Amino acid sequence: MSLTWLEILSFRNIEFAELNLHPGVNGFVGDNGSGKSSLLESIYMLSTFRSFRTHHLSSLINDQAPYMLVRGKLSDGGSLAVQRDRKGLRQIRIDGQAVNINSRLAEALPVLVFDPDTINLVLGQPSHRRRFLNWGVFHVKHQFSQLWREANRCLQQRNVLLKKGVVTDTLQQWTESLVEKSESLDRLRQEYSTQLKGRFLETARSLCNIDNLDLEYYKGWSNALDLRRSYEKDLSLELTRGFTQKGFHRVDIRVTVNGKEISEVCSRGEAKMLSWALALSQVELLPTAAREKLVLLVDDIASEIDPTHRKQVTGLLCRGDHQILTTSTDKQTLIDGWGEELGQMFHVKQGIISRIGENIYDR
């Protein structure tokens, strides 16, 4: 399944665009600032109701418009639509029906981004890796989504009570619930991380000549002390600070070499390749149902990966027959990088997107 049709209205500098998309690789060429990344961002919005470039969704709305709208049709006949206005009012529709849970979008249209920020998977803050890990577990473990919502509710309630600075029976009840949900999430994440590690080490070997690589999982609290006892031990400090310090919300995965952080032993070029290897590994672990729906958004691969590795990476990206939308500032670079996999090309200029002719190699 793929995204067959896309409509964008008042999204950043794209005032209006309507595109029929190829089920394989779609290339978008244009100068920096032309709107290429905004196009990819609009599809990410359609999948998550979030941006991969900013936390301020109001900035996505074109300066001259009261709201932004993105709509898409899927090859199975389904449809998706997301809208947000300047007051923060939002609408999500799946097959014409209103929904209020973002994860329903992700189930219908799984999307992964490969862009300059992908390097944060190995060099960035834990929050980048948490989102990455949660996305993978969400698509592999069907019970994750409900557990995640329940755990977040427990965490929020416990933090409200901690801010009051008083130990009550209600605080103890929410603590017990948080322990139960955190431990359940940890089991799912550990199982997934074990699979991810094996796939990552295999992929990294094919892309990088780096020995003694490892992918380490940190569950969010000490292995030496169970979570219930950790909360008992830290209660006085948490009452003073007013928030929960340990638990499912502190999970992390880290790529290391000989037990050392990547930033200490690898060049930036090596770090990029390791981050892309990690992201590619996640694609391979998706179940068949999710893999068939997956759309990959690849933003300016030429600026991130040297020519020696570029063909290797594009080959891995195309291996699962996923739909891919990729950008570049140069048409020939797209053709050289993707070869015969490149099914269709578009030109982007000042937010206007136009299709390049039928035979992309002759124009």
Those residues whose C-beta lies under 8 Å from the C-beta of residue 190, and which sit 6 or more positions away, are 217, 219
Kindly indicate the confidence band of residue 1, based on its pLDDT and cuts at 50, 70 and 90. Answer: low
pLDDT of residue 94: 97
Give the residue-averaged pLDDT of 58-73.
Answer: 95
Q: Is residue 362 predicted with pLDDT exceeding 80?
A: no
Give the residue-averaged pLDDT of 201-216.
Answer: 93
pLDDT of residue 46: 97
- Specify the fold of 118-285: Glutathione S-transferase Yfyf (Class Pi); Chain A, domain 2 (1.20.1050)
Give the residue-averaged pLDDT of 84-109.
Answer: 94
Give the residue-averaged pLDDT of 223-234.
Answer: 94
Query: Residue 282 and residue 129: Cα distance in Å, rounded?
Result: 12
Which residue matches tokens 């069907």? 142
Q: What is the pLDDT of residues 176-192, one digit of tens each?
A: 999 999 999 999 999 99
- Mean of all residue pLDDT scores within the chain: 94
Domains of the chain: which residue ranges?
A: 1-110+288-363, 118-285
Contact 242, 172 (CB under 8 A): no
Q: Which CATH class, in words, describes the domain spanning 1-110+288-363? A: alpha beta
Q: How far is CA 208 from CA 12, 271, 303, 309, 316, in A?
A: 37, 10, 18, 9, 14
Has this prediction a pTM greater than 0.85?
Answer: yes
Give the residue-averaged pLDDT of 108-129.
Answer: 95
Q: What is the pLDDT of residues 249-303, one digit of tens each?
A: 999 999 999 999 999 999 999 999 999 999 999 999 999 989 999 999 999 998 8
pLDDT of residue 359: 47
Torsions phi, psi of 258, nearest 5?
55, 35
